[in-house]
Chain A
Amino acid sequence: MAPKTKDDAELADFGRFSEPALLILVSLAEGPRHGYSMTEDIEAIAGVCLGPGTLYGALARLESRGLIEPLKSEDRRNPYRLTALGERALRARLDSMMAVARTGQRRLASA
């Protein structure tokens, strides 16, 4: 699905990490979480079990683009939170997906 806006394009060139990155952003939309909590949340909302290799590949990309940021933590599990840029990118991506879903449903209904 080609991006339509600049914010939507933030996730577009993540390659195989696009979907995990989107799921991570959705998980963080509820509030800061650490890696293990994200994998549990993502499994609950999408039925996808992200392995640590995929999870941290996507997290590193999101962090490098400034879409998420780590919070200071006492223990070894750093929580992450969405940045303003990440929130805009997630909103744009979801809007774009919703538009496709609405079109698909409308076409199915009229078929």
Chain B
Amino acid sequence: MNWLLHLYPARWRERYGDEFRAVLAGQRASLALFFDVLGGAVDAHLHPQILHSHANQTKGDDTMTLAMLQRCTAGGARLSPDDRRIASRVTTISALAIAVLSIVLTKIYREAAPVQALIYAAAPALSMVYAQTAYLRRRSWRVQAFLLGGGLSGMYLFMLAICLIAKRL
């Protein structure tokens, strides 16, 4: 059942992988064990901050201010210049792609609700792209695709519903 360990984030495997294998080897394979390991993997992806967060909290002189900044600022203190640069590039390319798509779709479908929804969703979607690209960059591509795809789909569907309702009024 060691293959299940690959479901855990890479940082988690580096830290606990060997110990985890030793405990896993001592237990009898069962469905309960399978779901326990699976649940642990989901938890490790959902709560990456539990790794070494105490060590990080106790470093530095101004930890309370830093924690506040990390929680409150968009593109805040935790982001490296590299993170911000990549997030800005992805956001700019996304903005250009949405602009081109909106122009083409407006030419073809004029003021159809799905096209209007795309235009209205563009601004919040771009800020979502920036934030998620910056903060999720070190997460696996599956987590990034799930969160970003889910967020953008949700935003577009919400705008589409608003446009459809507005057209009926």
Task: Give A contacts to B, CB under 8 Å.
Answer: 34-36, 39, 49, 51-57, 59-61, 63-66, 76-78
Contact = CB atoms under 8 A, between A and B. Distances in A.
A53 B22 contact: no
A64 B40 contact: no
B19 A34 contact: yes
B23 A39 contact: yes
B50 interface: yes
Contact of A51 (B12, B21, B27, B51): B27
- Chain A interface main SS type: helix
Given A51-B32, A57-B44, A64 B52 contact: yes
A61 B33 CA distance: 20
A54 B19 contact: no
Interface in B27-50: 27, 32-33, 36-41, 43-44, 49-50
A60 B54 CA distance: 10
Contact of B19 (A51, A65, A66, A77): A77
Q: Which 9 pairs from chain A and chain B are nearest by CB?
A: A53-B40, A51-B36, A76-B18, A53-B36, A64-B53, A66-B54, A52-B23, A35-B23, A53-B37
A61 B49 CA distance: 9
Nearest to B38: A53
Interface of B: 12, 15-16, 18-24, 26-27, 32-33, 36-41, 43-44, 49-54, 58
B22 A77 contact: yes
- Chain B interface main SS type: helix
Contacts of A61: 50
B43 to A, nearest CB: 5
Nearest to B18: A76
Contact of B54 (A35, A59, A64, A76): A64
Contacts of B50: 60-61, 64
A53 B52 CA distance: 18
Nearest to A17: B43
A53 B43 CA distance: 9
A77 B22 CA distance: 7
Contacts of A53: 36-41, 43
Nearest to A78: B19
B97 to A, nearest CB: 39
A90 B30 CA distance: 32
7 contacts: A34-B19, A35-B23, A39-B26, A52-B27, A53-B39, A56-B19, A57-B43
Contacts of B15: 60
